[in-house]
């Protein structure tokens, strides 16, 4: 079966790089983007230039974020996160590359410097001008008191979740580290991503081209299934549960 084959490939590999998308966190109560009921089936994304240009867009962006707070605050690592953390502790996984913003890889035991967050992190905020960090509690208090999204107390530029929006620059350091990891591994496992958002979706192919074997674990078919050495079209938690060490 797929899981037996995956188990063999993990045993045969020295350096495994997991690459995760929203599908690894759905069992934690966080909706993905493109499945039925996903975020982008309910809300249109707010592009970065709109966020910068419009107070109304910033207010809407923060209202959406506050509406999700109970979901993010309650979320705990799932079986997929725990399996990857087990392989990390065993020395097989040097770091995880993730498109997720939910902080659950860190919560499962990865050191922060071993979580490459391509799309940032939604559990805190930053000024888009001077990059000063803010806690969400501070933003919420200011939003409620001022009746809208606040600006930075230092430079007066807008404060935004520490995430990457469409149209926003990708983080340089993370892109470089993800590139190096993709080119240095012998097994690359894409987990729970539709693989449609670039440049993130380029890493599986980059790893494959550099000589790694490629595994894709996703309920739905992806555009890159045809270049994979193994495709497991099944639930992530069920598939990775055997790799959770206790």
Residue ranges binding ligand OAD (CB under 6 A): 21-23, 26-27, 32-35, 38, 99, 119, 164, 166, 192-194, 197, 218-220, 235-236
- Span 154-213, contacts to Zn ion by CB under 5 A: 154-155, 157
Token pair 């935004």 in the structure block, residue: 160
119 is catalytic: yes
What lies within 8 Å, CB to CB, of 202 at 6+ separation is: none
Question: With contact defined as beta carbons under 8 Å apart, do 22 and 28 qualify?
Answer: no
Cβ distance to Zn ion smaller for residue 8 or 156 = 156
Q: Report how far residue 68's alpha carbon sits from residue 117's, in angstroms, rounded to the nearest whole number.
A: 20
Task: Work out whether 7 is an interface residue with Zn ion (CB under 5 A).
Answer: no
Which is catalytic among the residues 105, 114, 119, 234?
119
Cβ distance to Zn ion smaller for residue 152 or 195 = 152
Q: Which does residue 18 bind out of Zn ion, ligand OAD, none, counting CB within 5 to 8 angstroms by kind?
A: none
Cβ distance to Zn ion smaller for residue 26 or 161 = 161
Question: With contact defined as beta carbons under 8 Å apart, do 185 and 17 qualify?
Answer: yes
Tokens at 183, concatenated: 């080119």
CA 226 to chain centre: 23
Q: Report how far residue 217's alpha carbon sits from residue 133's, in angstroms, rounded to the nearest whole number.
A: 35
CA angle 100, 5, 114 (to 5 degrees): 30
Task: Work out whether 129 is an interface residue with Zn ion (CB under 5 A).
Answer: yes
Rounded to the nearest whole angstrom, what is the least distance from the CB of residue 159 to ligand OAD in the complex? 18
Site string (47-76) toward Zn ion, x via CB under 5 A: ------------------------------
Pairing relation of β-strands 230-232 and 159-163?
A: unpaired
Rounded to the nearest whole angstrom, what is the least distance from the CB of residue 203 to ligand OAD in the complex? 12
SS3 content of the chain, % helix, strand, coil (to 5): 45, 15, 40
Rounded to the nearest whole angstrom, what is the least distance from the CB of residue 125 to Zn ion in the complex? 11
Stretch that binds Zn ion, among 44-52, 130-138, 141-149, 211-219 (CB under 5 A): 130-138
Tokens at 211, concatenated: 């000589």
**What are the residue numbers of the active site?**
119
Residues that bind Zn ion (CB under 5 A): 127, 129-130, 132, 152, 154-155, 157
């Amino acid at each position: 079966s797929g899981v037996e084959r995956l188990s063999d490939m993990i045993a045969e590999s020295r350096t495994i790089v997991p690459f995760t998308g929203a599908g690894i966190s759905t069992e934690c109560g966080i909706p993905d983007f493109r499945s039925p009921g996903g975020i982008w089936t309910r809300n249109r994304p707010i592009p970065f230039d709109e966020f910068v240009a419009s107070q109304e867009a910033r207010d809407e962006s923060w209202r959406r974020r506050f509406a999700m707070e109970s979901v993010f605050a309650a979320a705990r690592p799932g079986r997929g996160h725990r399996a990857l953390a087990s392989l990390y502790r065993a020395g097989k996984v040097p770091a995880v590359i993730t498109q997720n913003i939910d902080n659950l890889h860190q919560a499962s035991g990865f050191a922060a410097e071993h979580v490459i967050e391509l799309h940032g992190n939604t559990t805190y905020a930053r000024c888009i001008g001077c990059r000063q960090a803010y806690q969400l509690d501070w933003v919420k208090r200011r939003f409620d008191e001022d009746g809208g999204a606040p600006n930075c107390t230092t430079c007066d530029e807008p404060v935004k979740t520490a995430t990457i929006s469409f149209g926003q620059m990708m983080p340089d350091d993370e892109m470089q580290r993800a590139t190096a990891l993709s080119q240095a591994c012998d097994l690359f496992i894409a987990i729970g991503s539709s693989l449609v958002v670039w440049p993130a979706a380029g890493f599986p192919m980059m790893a494959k081209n550099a000589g790694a074997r490629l595994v894709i674990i996703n309920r739905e078919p992806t555009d890159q299934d045809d270049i994979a050495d193994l495709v497991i079209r099944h639930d992530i938690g069920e598939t990775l549960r055997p790799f959770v060490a206790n």
